[in-house]
Amino acid sequence: MISIEKKSVNSNLLIFKFQNYDLLYPEDITEVLSFSDNKGAFKEFNYLNTLGKSCYKKIYVIGLGTTEEFNSTVLFKSIGVALNSIKNSIDNLDILDNLDVLDDPNYDLGYTIGESVSLSLYKFEGLKSKPKASVLKNVNIISNCKDSILKGIISGESINFGRELVNLPSNLVTPKYLTQKAQEVAKSSSIDITILDKYMLEKMGMNSITYVGNGSVHEPYLIVLQYLGDPSCKEITALIGKGITFDSGGLCIKPTKNMFAMVSDMAGAASVLSVMKAVTKLKPKKNIIALIPTAENMPSSKAYKPGDVIKSYSGKTIQVISTDAEGRLILCDAITYAKELGATTIIDVATLTGSCANFLGNINIGLFSNSNKLANNIISCGEDVGENFWRLPNNEEYMEKLKTPSADLKNSGNNCGGIVAGMFLKSFAEDVNFAHLDIAGSALNESCTEVYEQGANGKPSRTLIHYLTK
């Protein structure tokens, strides 16, 4: 439970310290601090037993570095370091927010505190018979910035909702399960939702989605959520999330070594659903639609095959070279439908290519766009929240790799995988402002970092929420 009060509530306290600037604290805390050897270096963390000199039993100190280097990302990571160090050892904590002396219009520190606290407290308990939850249950933030902190908590808890979906196994998180979770989000916020089932998809001609799902016993769907924050405006932003709940590779089956990790191939869908959960509570004055094509890519006698030619919803025909390049197939029909719904900007989020993951690792998210303005806005928003993007080239010459005598284009080239996948999707977006975010290498943490534990981290939800609400 996270609360926001202007007074002490719990028996432990977390405070901040700079290397070159002394923040003001009550006399009893200042006296205890005089015994601390914490110099205030970025992420330097320790604690002091107060020995009865304060109303608190323990005072934890986290360093923020110098004021010159300080920004919201420094604060975000520092809080994460502190909470992840103690969340399994104490059951309650006050956090003293006395950073208002650093008031800067470039960042909202209250929002950052709320977001970091909620994201840091998340712990995936799995499906164990005796799960081990975090010991830390009650956190109170002592602050005058309640409204900003509450907004940060909304963002963090919405992202944790998506992280949980990614962390759960695919025998639970099926396409049907995703539709149910989307319906819960819509019901809780009274936004419009439409679920297109397999019958409707076939009737409409969304063959690129249905073909991918043909090999599975779990039928595909297209989920459409619509939030109208400014009905008088004609600008509509469409978010599209890849929702492959398990990717075996289909008949072009993946190597078994890491196939178990393909339960996370719906991380793009989870991110988009998280963003919609947040914006319906933060209520930006923008029009936003979310489209989540979801299917399971499995091999069977009914599965689509290499060499098949599919007529997409746009009317363009696609020759299947690899059934393991399925994400771009379900996305292309969703992109066409987003345009039909009036989208003026389209952003897709997908764990799309191994080549992007190999090239960028988990440090940068691959960004492909036909718009300099849109690309720069996303990169800038990422910098604001500490998420990194690397823009990929979009020279028309790359389209040569998608030419085939059998159809209008094929679904895979021989090399330049991440770029070619972006070119494939751009050919369906056409002249609409379009960005493709390839999160194949960055959606999961292999180990615990400052804020995130091992597993799903929700990227790039923080960037997208910031982009839509700033």
Q: How many helices (H) and strands (E) does the chain have?
A: 13, 20
Q: Strand 389-391 vs strand 444-445: parallel, antiparallel, or unpaired?
A: unpaired
Sign of CA pseudo-dihedral 160, 162, 163, 165:
positive
Burial degree of 377 (CB within 10 A; 0-12, 13-18, 19+): middle
Q: Which of 77, 163, 181, 328 is catalytic?
A: 328
CA separation, residue 357 to residues 74, 274, 353, 362, 454 (Å): 26, 22, 7, 7, 17
Q: Which residues pair with 345 in a beta bridge?
A: 237, 433
Q: By the 8 A CB rule, do 110 and 152 touch?
A: yes
- Which strand (E) or helix (H) includes residue 3? strand 2-5
Distance CA 37, CA 326 (A): 55
Q: Which residues pair with 290 in a beta bridge?
A: 225, 239
Question: Catalytic annotation on 58?
Answer: no
* Mutual angle of helices 461-469 and 267-282, in 10-degree steps: 30
DSSP letters for 154-197: HHHHHHHHHHHHHHS-TTTS-HHHHHHHHHHHHHHHT-EEEEE-
Tokens representing residue 311 in the block: 């007529």
Q: Which of 254, 281, 305, 311 is catalytic?
A: 254
Question: Catalytic annotation on 281?
Answer: no
**CA end-to-end span of the chain:** 27
The size of the chain, in residues, is: 470
DSSP helix/strand/coil, 293: strand
Q: By the 8 A CB rule, do 424 and 332 touch?
A: yes
Looking at the annotation, which residues are catalytic? 254, 328
